């Protein structure tokens, strides 16, 4: 569903597809929750009508969004999850605050800025001038799909101010374009051997020099695994979203829109991994949990439900034995230029 432009006072916890233009009015220092002992940061946004709304960043998000949200800067925020605000903190019925997970899109708004071009992550043909396309099909995935037919035409020298600006930019930034192309070649043609990076090296990577397709290997342990951070639930076998259907039941998923989905056990596990240089927090989803715990998701879900889950044995293994983990940027890099890392593959040594 296409996000519809609205204002902050129209948002409620049930609002889904929306888009708001706001200015960041306040950004607190990092705080510690007295009960959960988690780090968080409070934000206050204001729209064009003077309506305000709170937002919150938690744990790793504070560092990941450090250069995204800046005081008195304007942003267009779309589809940020809205959580209800209750009790004395509520300023109106159906009051809510923004969080920044899921399919959140954040784009800075600066009408006085010059045009800035972000190089795409496909191979550019430097010998040709920019081309225009005649047909584009929308997609739920990053980017878009192109459709061609006998009537499709390509204009290698399109007119217009934007095309002229892009040609001028490409001519002035040949070194930048060449460097980007070299990085694309390296990412898309990885070496046969596994090159292991340290967590310290991973943390030094920045959104502006990281590609969405980039993959890195790290060698880590989980020194203090926490049983309470394992979340079992029943979810869609296609998209993984939590559903209300009974396990094994067939249904049409309201999240991915696919018919004849099956409700199956799903698992998430948030953990702090470390090596000799640093520590980072990751979240493993069902397939990676199966590798970490060396059990099928169905067994994990069942044992947790009936109280027979032997986490002590699992904790001993993952806290003392190193494993290889391939990580890559989350989709927030493409949507909002926010760099966070997610597990892609896990191998036991």
pLDDT in tens, 56-94: 999 889 988 988 999 999 999 999 999 998 888 888 888
The pLDDT, as a whole number, for residue 190 is 76
Higher model confidence: residue 24 or residue 135?
A: 24
The pLDDT, as a whole number, for residue 121 is 42
Residue 120 clears pLDDT 90, i.e. is over it: no
The pLDDT, as a whole number, for residue 140 is 45
| Mean pLDDT of the region 287-310 | 96
Residue 143: pLDDT band with limits 50, 70, 90:
low
- Closest by CA to 221, choosing from 270, 275, 271, is 275
Percent of the chain with pLDDT over 70: 89
Please tell me whether residue 314 adopts helix, strand or coil conformation: helix
Scan for tokens 């709304």, then name that residue: 53
The pLDDT, as a whole number, for residue 189 is 80
| Mean pLDDT of the region 243-266 | 94
Q: How far apart are CA 61 and CA 66, in angstroms?
A: 8
- Closest by CA to 77, choosing from 116, 104, 39, is 104
The pLDDT, as a whole number, for residue 182 is 84
Question: Which two structure tokens, joined as six digits, stand for 291?
Answer: 């590798």
Strand 136-137 and strand 145-146: the pairing is: antiparallel
| Mean pLDDT of the region 296-307 | 96
Task: For the chain, give the mean pLDDT.
Answer: 87
CATH of domain 4-109: 2.40.50.140
Residue 12: pLDDT band with limits 50, 70, 90:
very high
Conformation bin of residue 143: beta by default, left when phi > 0, alpha when psi is -120 to 50:
left
Contact 227, 206 (CB under 8 A): no
Q: How far apart are CA 216 and CA 60, in angstroms?
A: 19
Residue 145: pLDDT band with limits 50, 70, 90:
low
Q: How far apart are CA 225 and CA 273, in angstroms?
A: 9
Question: Which two structure tokens, joined as six digits, stand for 14?
Answer: 């049930």
Highest mean predicted confidence (pLDDT) among 95-109, 149-163, 295-309, 324-338 = 295-309
- Closest by CA to 70, choosing from 6, 32, 25, 115, is 25
Residue 310 clears pLDDT 50, i.e. is over it: yes
Q: How far apart are CA 336 and CA 329, in angstroms?
A: 12
Percent of the chain with pLDDT over 90: 58
| 147-151, 212-216, 328-332, range with the lowest pLDDT | 147-151
Task: Kindly report the pTM of this predicted structure.
Answer: 0.72
284: β partners: 269
| Mean pLDDT of the region 15-25 | 93
**What residue spans of the chain are helical by DSSP H?**
60-64, 161-172, 174-188, 199-203, 286-293, 297-306, 311-320, 332-336
Residue 112 clears pLDDT 60, i.e. is over it: no
The pLDDT, as a whole number, for residue 220 is 98
96: β partners: 84
Residue 7 clears pLDDT 90, i.e. is over it: yes
Give the list of residues 6+ apart from residue 175 with CB closer than 8 angstroms, or none.
none
> Between 3.20.20.10, 3.40.50.1000, 2.40.50.140, 1.20.1250.20, what CATH number should domain 199-233+267-348 receive?
2.40.50.140
| 100-104, 187-191, 302-306, range with the lowest pLDDT | 187-191
DSSP code at position 132: B
4-109 with 199-233+267-348: one CATH topology?
yes
Higher model confidence: residue 318 or residue 123?
A: 318
| Mean pLDDT of the region 170-199 | 85
What is the secondary structure of 231-281 as a DSSP string? EEEEEETTT--B-SSPTT-EE--TTT--SSEEEEEEEEEEEEEE-SS-EEE
The pLDDT, as a whole number, for residue 150 is 74
The number of angstroms, rounded, from the C-alpha of 51 to the middle of its chain's C-alpha atoms is: 28
The pLDDT, as a whole number, for residue 129 is 45
5: β partners: 19
Residue 130: pLDDT band with limits 50, 70, 90:
very low
The ranges assigned to domains in the chain are 4-109, 136-188, 199-233+267-348
Q: How far apart are CA 127 and CA 29, in angstroms?
A: 49
Residue 36: pLDDT band with limits 50, 70, 90:
confident
- Closest by CA to 337, choosing from 100, 53, 71, is 100
The number of angstroms, rounded, from the C-alpha of 343 to the middle of its chain's C-alpha atoms is: 12
| Mean pLDDT of the region 8-23 | 93
**What residue spans of 116-195 are helical by DSSP H?**
161-172, 174-188
Q: Each residue of 170-182: pLDDT tens digit?
A: 899 898 888 888 8
Strand 74-78 and strand 18-27: the pairing is: antiparallel
The pLDDT, as a whole number, for residue 141 is 47
């Amino acid at each position: 569903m296409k996000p519809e432009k609205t204002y902050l006072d129209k948002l409620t916890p049930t609002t889904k597809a929306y888009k708001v233009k706001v200015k960041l009015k306040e950004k607190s220092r990092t705080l510690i929750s007295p009960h959960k002992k988690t780090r968080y940061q409070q934000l206050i946004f204001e729209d064009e009508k003077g309506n305000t709304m709170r937002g919150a960043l938690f744990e790793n998000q504070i560092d990941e969004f450090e250069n995204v949200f800046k005081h008195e800067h304007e942003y267009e925020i779309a589809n940020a999850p809205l959580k209800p605000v209750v009790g004395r903190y509520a300023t109106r019925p159906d009051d809510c605050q923004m969080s920044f997970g899921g399919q959140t899109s954040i784009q800075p708004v600066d009408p006085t800025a010059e045009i800035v071009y972000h190089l795409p992550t496909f191979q550019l043909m430097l010998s040709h001038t920019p081309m225009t396309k005649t047909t584009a099909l929308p997609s739920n995935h990053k980017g878009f799909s192109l459709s061609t037919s006998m009537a499709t035409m390509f204009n290698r020298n399109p007119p217009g101010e934007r095309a002229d600006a892009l040609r001028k930019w490409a001519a002035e930034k040949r070194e930048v374009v060449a460097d980007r192309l070299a990085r694309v070649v390296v990412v898309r043609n990885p070496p046969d051997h596994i090159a292991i990076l340290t967590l310290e090296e991973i943390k030094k990577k920045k959104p502006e020099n990281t590609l969405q397709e980039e993959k890195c290997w790290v060698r880590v342990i989980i020194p203090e695994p926490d049983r309470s951070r394992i979340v079992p639930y029943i979810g869609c076998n296609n998209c993984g979203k939590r559903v209300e259907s009974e396990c094994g039941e067939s249904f049409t998923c309201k999240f991915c829109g696919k018919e004849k989905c099956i409700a199956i056990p799903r698992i998430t596990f948030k953990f702090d991994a470390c090596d000799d240089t640093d520590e980072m927090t990751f979240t493993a989803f069902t397939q990676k949990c199966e590798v970490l715990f060396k059990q099928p998701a169905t067994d994990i879900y069942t044992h947790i439900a009936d109280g027979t889950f032997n986490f002590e044995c699992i904790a001993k293994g993952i806290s003392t034995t190193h494993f290889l983990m391939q990580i890559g940027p989350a989709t927030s890099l493409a949507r909002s230029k926010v760099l966070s890392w997610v597990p892609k593959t896990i191998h036991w040594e």
